[in-house]
Amino acid sequence: MAYSPVRVKTLIPNTEFPFDLFIRVNEKYLLYVHKGDVMDQKRVDKLYNIDEGVDRLFVTLESQVDYDKFITKKLDETIENPDISVDEKVDVVEGSAMTAMERMEEAPDSKANYKITEKAANSLRIVVSKNPDALKKIFGKKAKGSDEIMKHCFNVCAFACDFASTLGFSEQELDDLGAACLVHDLGLTKTEEDKLLFKKEPSKFTPDDKRIYKLHPQGTVDLMKDKPFVNDNVKRMILHHEEKLNGAGLRGIQKIEEIDQVFSLVNLYEKKVSTYGKNYFDAMKEVFEEEVGNYSIKFIKKFKEFIESRGLFDEDAA
């Protein structure tokens, strides 16, 4: 029997689950919660306290449709509920996004996996747009080693959609941007060599590193090629997410759309902070020193204003 991962953060306590839930122990899947049962908060906390903590359970592939209906309903209920804290909202949308990305990593040609990715991105966009503190909370959370690339994609999605919204891009453009952000580095998750490259600063790349790394945007797009449920704008955004003006990016493209420029700038800044360990202030200082001309000065100035407005420009902040 085949199984699909679901993040524990999406399994709201005291909620009846319309599917069986399994826990993986020594590569075996053991029934943990029966269909129709609930998990109280104590049982959820117990999962987090097992050894290094359990952050995912599993459903059978046959139950994946039931889980998708469940999480879609729970996302809608959670993000619109004024009685639920921002922290809880961030946890639920992060759990749903991580679940979606993990499923896309395993089966990128699945329409169901892509649709739940779109839903997660849209829910994340709503949370950060309605809760100005959410972005700082998202950036303040560290990823487990195995989730580092997905956490980067999640951060970029939250940051880019929130920033792009302030710039007046259309709803469709923001929807496409969110989906593109969540999956943009799938091409770097297949091998350990690629994952190590993700953590390495480009200034330290060897010629072979550059050759391999250059391929990852196209590699991600290739995972979803010929899939009509992924529109061309999403594919273009993924392909251009490390491009810059005047051909200074990975592929040397001479001209990129404005929203692609926003995506690329946020992606660059987020990696400086979350992957390379720079504080918010120093990362922005580097952008001003090194990237003027590679991005529109208009966007760079507006970007600085934006991160200041979200409390992410404290010189002493980590």
pLDDT digits (tens, 9 = 90+) for 132-160: 889 988 987 887 767 899 999 999 999 99
Length of the chain: 318
Query: Which residue type does 307 have?
Result: I
Beta-carbon count within 10 A of 302 CB? 16
Exposure string (b/e) for 240-278, b if CB count within 10 Å is 16 or more? bbbbbbeeebbeebeebeebbbbbbbbbbbbbbbbbeeb
Cα distance between residue 175 and residue 13, in whole Å: 30
- Ordered structural domains, the chain, with CATH: 1-63 (no CATH), 85-309 (1.10.3210.10)
The pLDDT confidence band at residue 253, using thresholds 50, 70 and 90, is confident
| For residue 315, pLDDT beyond 60 | no
Q: 204 vs 48, which has greater pLDDT? A: 204
Query: Tokens 């290094």, residue?
Result: 52
What integer pLDDT is reported at residue 31 of this predicted model?
96
Q: Is 310 exposed, middle or buried (0-12, 13-18, 19+ CB in 10 A)?
A: buried
Query: Tokens 């990975």, residue?
Result: 250
Spell out where the chain has E strands: 3-7, 21-25, 28-33, 56-60
Q: What is the pTM of this model?
A: 0.93
